Amino acid sequence: MEYAAPTTVDEARTLLADNPGSRVFAGATDVVPQMRSGRPEPSVLIDLKLIDRLMSVTHDNGHWTIGAAMPTSELTSNGEFTSVFPGISEGAGWIGSDQIQNRSSLGGNLCNGSPAADSVPAMIASEARAVIAGTDGERTIPVADVVTGPGQLSLADGEFVVEFEIDDPPANTGDAYIRMTPRTEMDIAIVGAAVRVTMNGDTCTDARVVLGAVAPTAVRVPDAEAALIGSSLDEAALAEVTAAASAAANPINDKRGTIEYRVQVAGVLAKRAAVLAAERARA
Amino acid sequence: MSVGQSPLRHDAAAKTDGSIEYAGDTVPAGALQAVVVFSGRAHARMLLMSTDSALAVPGVVDIITAADAPVNEYGLTMRDQPALVGVDHTGAAAVDAAVSRWEADQIAVVIAETRAAATAGAAAIEVEWEDLPLVDNIDAALAPKAPLVHPENGLDTNAYHHLRIRKGDPDFGFALAYAVIDEVYEVPHQEHAYLQPEAGTAYIDNEGRVTIEIGGQWTSEDREQVAHVLGLPEDRVRIIYKAIGGAFGGKEDMSIQIALGLAAMRLAERGEHRPIHCRWSREESIVGHHKRHRGRIRIRLGATHDGTITALEADVDLDAGAYNYTSNKVLGNAHVSVAGAYRIPHARIDSRAIYTTTVPGGAFRGFGGPQGHFAIESAVNRLAAELGIDPVEMRLRNALVDGDDGITQTVMPEGVSMREVITACSLQAELDEALPDPEPFSPIASLPSATTSLRRGRGFAAGFKNIGFSFGFPERCEAEIVLNGNPNDETPTSAELFHGGAEVGQGAHLAMRQMASDATGVSLDDVHGHFSDTATSGDPGSASASRLTFMAGNSILGAAEEAEKAWREGDRPARGFFRYTPPPTEALDPETGTGAPNFCYGYMAQCIEVTVDVDTGHIRVDRVTSTHDVGKAINPALVRGQIEGAVVQAHGYAISEDLQLADGFITNPRFSSYLIPGIGDIPLQVDSQILEFADPLGPFGARGVAEMPFITYTPALTAAVHDATGLWFNTFPLTPSRVLGGLQAAEE
Ligand SMILES: Cc1cc2nc3c(=O)[nH]c(=O)nc-3n(C[C@H](O)[C@H](O)[C@H](O)COP(=O)(O)OP(=O)(O)OC[C@H]3O[C@@H](n4cnc5c(N)ncnc54)[C@H](O)[C@@H]3O)c2cc1C
């Protein structure tokens, strides 16, 4: 196994194209444990952290641009970003621990392809886009379209994520991400729920509800969104959100949580995240 | 006076800045590396093993196999385990050494220039196995015609150790009862999860002794077991303990000691004298050492209208796993503690240790007490609820007092303080005041909770734990004290304490120095300890059974007296050696269980307050009141440390730790899936209440404390969850899935 550290996107692109079986990485907080537990080693490990574009966060022209390899601690400690997207910041802030967050990246969290990735549901709720570099240049797709199944991506060989774009939200918008783990920290979500709502007074005018860890990928729950839109998040609407989220959950059984548990709690968390997001939207 | 104070620990600075030397830190220059090879077979007979290709791996120096073991059997209390499973052994063994009975039976030790080479060598060992039928739980082991895990013991059952209690007439007792509960309780495995996995270095010292530097709990016993397999007299083996990163019972049995000892002895015979180092990874540690016993306890308990207990029946089945380790002793303790610290006129108890082809059960803080107490204390809480009696009152009504017979029909050792402890705990916990309204979980947990889904509750449990070894074991502890000074000095200027007792993190060495200081009149700073080396210290007995302060203290008091005699006679330095032996205990009668099993007990009670999120099943413990009669707190800060530490460890046992086995294999041997509590999970508040009712035999009145706060935690917690939700859980850990599942089932 070799190690390479390109300093430009083009250089990285060439390295990937020239070395079959090579692999990019950022914080390596998924890559290293996976190799230790027996996953085959790549031919070349390509470190993305020396490429400036992948390591910065900017805000102009009505959207945010976040480098795919930037440590998530730089995002969660960015006060301006966190005040606009508290839910995304919260999701990134649940990854591992302070030490892990000084390495872990949004690109790695997404491209590892885990259904339980904590930063992904809130990014989807804000309709974030991924800018992808490949042999033929760059293309931009919704974050929701990157992961197609556990560990499966829509990215072609030789492609990698350069950065994420997120549009400024409309006024009176709030988002939230909460998760359930058997242990309160340093644990992997058995259910995650992100909700983003836009309020006009007491009425919800727009809503996105996204669940993590209860299906092969993060999933949007249109029925829950429909229940929220036009409502004042009254009991009846929240009961519909709960039911819709539970219905959308299609989880597996594993050491951390049973199917029945995940289905039930998906509804509970979606409801709680909706209430929290609405509080933030009104604030 | 030093006893009763909390001076700074002498190892505090080095443990804080990392400079202290653990056995895994000190790899001598030029040391060889050893990897212990596990069988990887739950139950199988070895047909063939070839080390030829492994020896050809570059860097591999030698491979130790069963053929190298002069005696191929060992065990702390029964020699039922081969040192190395293999086909070509010639050494004596009472056990069939060709059979692997769990996944971590050791089959070889690969010694190489580097760990990588040793690992590659281990992978190149070729073995042919014939699989034998799995016996991977107690139901399989007890089934008619179940395959026998140890046919060589001549029994026709895997239930190889059976204890009984027959007291009074249980049928009559139950006939007197107004209410009877009859429940089955299931208790899970628990992993010790000590900070420091097994590690050690072996070499031949300059007096020709096979020497092992390691962490353990009982130097002399380690030496005895290693010497037995090596076929050496005990004085040709030396055990030295380095700093020890926790043990909790998990280092009472052998792990890598014998492998290292065999390697050092055989390599030296072949002219290779470099030291040999071995260090287990966390995965190797979790797979490779024993666990707290899982098991099943059926209990029937009856009481009259006013809560007076009339009869008890209990069947205690513990899964001993592949080898006995200390299961027969743990079982004895569960057997006695399943009756609680109560007057019970009529009783039948049958307890069995059962072999299976899974990870052995063994010593772990509480030593059978947590299993027994979970059953009896849950039963008492349930019976109290059924009778509409306050659980504290129910306990006070039945608690043993001085002069009472215990369940084994002999008088309890003097100093029974169960009632005082229960009362003190109930007052400290302010049980007469209503619980305040629930507060949201946020910000600690990841669940900002709607307070509408939160329920509060509190629960109570009480009990006792023996101090010292039981059931007729020849209990002893040795100390030597040397007093220094000039011929005309009236009092010594300094003192040396030689003691084998293990400092496993609990602060024992400081407590011993404090007691030596008071016993000799030499100030604490001038008492110098020389600890845990079989070449310089005597037999301490184990750092277990909450016994070390009690036993070491008495040995130190005796040695100080001897040294003072010599001092008065003019010896400079003045030496005193003492071997303390407490009053003898007795094995229980095989038919009736009559006998005096113990010479001293510590008594405890706990009250736990919880908040349960009924929408997610998440439990938060808000407050723990942990009340202990320790006799005398030699060092109050260390006592509090034991209480808080045990509470946190018990919290993991009760709430989150869930060792999973499939076909005899542990499937979550790492901390990412075996969940010990994090800082955000532990109880928000622990009130340690220390009571000092002097034990008549204890040094300065001291009893012991290390295990007690663990033992009553789970039943107090399940009672609190019942108070909050109306549900009784007869099994744990109370993971969110289990709690919510229970709530849903109750709704349907
Ligand atoms: C102790 C611990 C705790 C953890 N806790 C959590 C948790 O609570 N929640 C959670 O979601 N995760 C958790 N993780 C997993 C991990 O930290 C996160 O998924 C993290 O965001 C991964 O980022 P990284 O930069 O380290 O990824 P890396 O390991 O560098 O990469 C991960 C994967 O993504 C690919 N990749 C990386 N960057 C790109 C890119 N720009 N374009 C295309 N592919 C790319 C890599 O090839 C690899 O397959 C934990 C990990 C550890 C070790």
**Is this model's pTM higher than 0.90 or not?**
yes
Q: Do B447 and A272 touch (CB under 8 A)?
A: yes
**pLDDT at B444 exceeding the cut of 70:** no
What number does the ligand 1 atom closest to the CA of A111 have?
34
**Does residue A169 have a cis bond before it (omega within 30 degrees)?**
no
Tokens of B708: 């007690």
- Predicted confidence at residue A257, as pLDDT, reads 87
Higher per-residue pLDDT: A38 or B442:
A38
- Predicted confidence at residue B712, as pLDDT, reads 98
- Predicted confidence at residue B445, as pLDDT, reads 59
Reported confidence tier of residue B451, pLDDT bands at 50, 70, 90:
confident
- Predicted confidence at residue B91, as pLDDT, reads 80
- Predicted confidence at residue B446, as pLDDT, reads 67
Number of other residues whose CB lies within 10 A of the CB of residue B625? 25
Reported confidence tier of residue A184, pLDDT bands at 50, 70, 90:
confident
- Name the nearest CA neighbour of B371 among B294, B462, B289: B294
Q: E strands along B669-742, which residues?
A: 686-691
Tokens of B701: 């009145």
B668–A contact, CB cutoff 8 A: yes
What number does the ligand 1 atom closest to the CA of A26 have?
30
Secondary structure, 3-state, B169-238: CHHHHHHHCCEEEEEEEEECCECCCCCCCCEEEEEECCCCCEEEEECCCCHHHHHHHHHHHHCCCHHHEE
**pLDDT digit string (tens) for A213-249?**
999 999 999 999 999 999 999 999 999 999 999 999 9
**pLDDT at B535 exceeding the cut of 60:** yes
ipTM: 0.94
The conformation of residue A19, written as its DSSP 8-state character, comes to S
Across the range B349-368, mean pLDDT stands at 98
What number does the ligand 1 atom closest to the CA of A29 have?
26
Closest CB from A178, A260, A272 relative to B741? A260
H/E stretch holding B305 reads none
**pLDDT digit string (tens) for B627-647?**
999 999 999 999 999 999 999
**pLDDT digit string (tens) for B705-738?**
999 999 999 999 999 999 999 999 999 999 999 9
**pLDDT at B538 exceeding the cut of 60:** yes
How far is ligand 1, taken at its centre, from the CA of residue A269, in Å? 24
State which residue of chain B sits closest to A271, comparing Cα positions.
Answer: B450
Q: Do B678 and A264 touch (CB under 8 A)?
A: no
DSSP-based helix, strand, coil % in chain A, nearest 5: 35, 25, 35
**pLDDT at B686 exceeding the cut of 80:** yes
- Predicted confidence at residue A38, as pLDDT, reads 87
Question: Domains of chain A by range and CATH?
Answer: 2-114+129-165 (3.30.465.10), 174-282 (3.30.390.50)
Q: Tell me which chain B residues have a C-beta less than 8 angstroms from the C-beta of A187.
A: 675, 678
d(CA B316, CA B352): 6
Q: Which of residues 63-92 of A touch B (CB under 8 A)?
A: none
**pLDDT digit string (tens) for B268-297?**
999 999 999 999 999 999 999 999 999 999
**pLDDT at A110 exceeding the cut of 70:** yes
A195–B contact, CB cutoff 8 A: no
Q: Tell me which chain A residues have a C-beta less than 8 angstroms from the C-beta of B283.
A: none
State which residue of chain A sits closest to B668, comparing Cα positions.
Answer: A255
d(CA B532, CA B219): 6
- Predicted confidence at residue A254, as pLDDT, reads 83
Q: Do B446 and A184 touch (CB under 8 A)?
A: yes
- Predicted confidence at residue B704, as pLDDT, reads 96
Q: Ligand 1: which of A13, A23, A52, A100 to mutate, judged by most atoms within 8 Å of the beta carbon? A: A100
**pLDDT digit string (tens) for B154-168?**
999 999 999 999 999
How far is ligand 1, taken at its centre, from the CA of residue A110, in Å? 7
Share of chain B above pLDDT 70, in %: 99
Q: Do B736 and A261 touch (CB under 8 A)?
A: yes
Pocket of ligand 1 (CB under 6 A): A 23-31, 33, 48, 68-69, 94-96, 100, 103-105, 107-109, 111-112, 117-118, 160-161, 186, 188
Closest CB from B444, B446, B449 relative to A179? B446
State which residue of chain A sits closest to B449, comparing Cα positions.
Answer: A272
Q: Are B4 and B513 in contact (CB under 8 A)?
A: no
**pLDDT at A23 exceeding the cut of 80:** yes
Tokens of A164: 């994420």
Residue the block writes with tokens 């783990």: A181
**pLDDT at B449 exceeding the cut of 80:** no
- Name the nearest CA neighbour of B88 among B60, B128, B116: B128
**pLDDT digit string (tens) for A115-132?**
999 999 999 999 999 999
Q: Which of B446, B666, B667 to mutate to test the interface with A (most CBs of A within 10 A)?
A: B446
- Predicted confidence at residue A253, as pLDDT, reads 87
- Predicted confidence at residue B580, as pLDDT, reads 98
Q: Tell me which chain A residues have a C-beta less than 8 angstroms from the C-beta of B662.
A: none
Closest CB from A255, A258, A268 relative to B616? A268
- Predicted confidence at residue B619, as pLDDT, reads 95
CA distance A175 to chain B (A): 14
How far is ligand 1, taken at its centre, from the CA of residue B676, in Å? 23
**Yes or no: domain B295-469+590-747 corresponds to CATH 3.30.365.10:** yes
Q: Do B448 and A276 touch (CB under 8 A)?
A: yes
Number of other residues whose CB lies within 10 A of the CB of residue B514? 26
Across the range B121-131, mean pLDDT stands at 98
Burial B99-130 (b: 16+ CB within 10 A, else e): bbbbbbbbbbbbbbbebebbbbbbebbebebe
Q: Tell me which chain B residues have a C-beta less than 8 angstroms from the C-beta of A186.
A: 678
Closest CB from A184, A255, A272 relative to B678? A184
- Predicted confidence at residue B442, as pLDDT, reads 65
- Predicted confidence at residue B170, as pLDDT, reads 98
d(CA B688, CA B721): 21
Q: Do A265 and B615 touch (CB under 8 A)?
A: yes
Q: Do B681 and A184 touch (CB under 8 A)?
A: yes
Domain limits, chain B: 22-133+207-280, 295-469+590-747
How far is ligand 1, taken at its centre, from the CA of residue A71, in Å? 10
- Burial (0-12, 13-18, 19+ Cβ within 10 Å), A115: buried
Kindly report the average pLDDT of chain A as a whole number: 96
Strand-by-strand arrangement of the B309-321 sheet: B159-167, B346-355, B309-321, B295-303, B179-187
CATH architecture of B22-133+207-280: Alpha-Beta Complex (3.90)
Q: Which of residues 444-463 of B touch A (CB under 8 A)?
A: 444-450, 453
B672–A contact, CB cutoff 8 A: yes
Q: Do B673 and A256 touch (CB under 8 A)?
A: yes
- Predicted confidence at residue B347, as pLDDT, reads 98
Q: Tell me which chain A residues have a C-beta less than 8 angstroms from the C-beta of B736.
A: 180, 182, 257, 261, 265
Kindly report the average pLDDT of chain B as a whole number: 97
- Predicted confidence at residue B696, as pLDDT, reads 95
Across the range A23-49, mean pLDDT stands at 95
d(CA A179, CA A190): 7
Across the range A44-60, mean pLDDT stands at 97
Q: Tell me which chain B residues have a C-beta less than 8 angstroms from the C-beta of A181.
A: 446
